[in-house]
């Protein structure tokens, strides 16, 4: 999964076509996206 701002994800459009197994998740706030990743990694143990 790739979490980022919609503009950044749009710039990577060709990458996502080539790496179709990756899923993009839109976050309007970069800091909130980083917090989500940090929390998910810390809950993994």
Asked if residues 33 and 3 have their Cβ atoms less than 8 Å apart, the reply is: yes
**Does the pTM of the predicted model rise above 0.75?**
no
The pLDDT assigned to 16 comes to 94
Residue 7: pLDDT band with limits 50, 70, 90: very high
Question: When comparing pLDDT for 18 and 30, which is higher?
Answer: 18
Phi, psi of 27 (to 5 degrees): -130, 130
Counting every residue written for the chain, the total comes to 45
Contact 27, 3 (CB under 8 A): yes
């Amino acid at each position: 999964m790739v979490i980022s701002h919609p503009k950044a994800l749009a710039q990577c459009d060709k990458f996502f076509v080539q790496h179709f197994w990756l899923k993009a998740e839109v976050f309007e706030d970069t800091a909130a996206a980083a917090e989500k990743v940090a929390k998910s990694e810390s809950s993994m143990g």
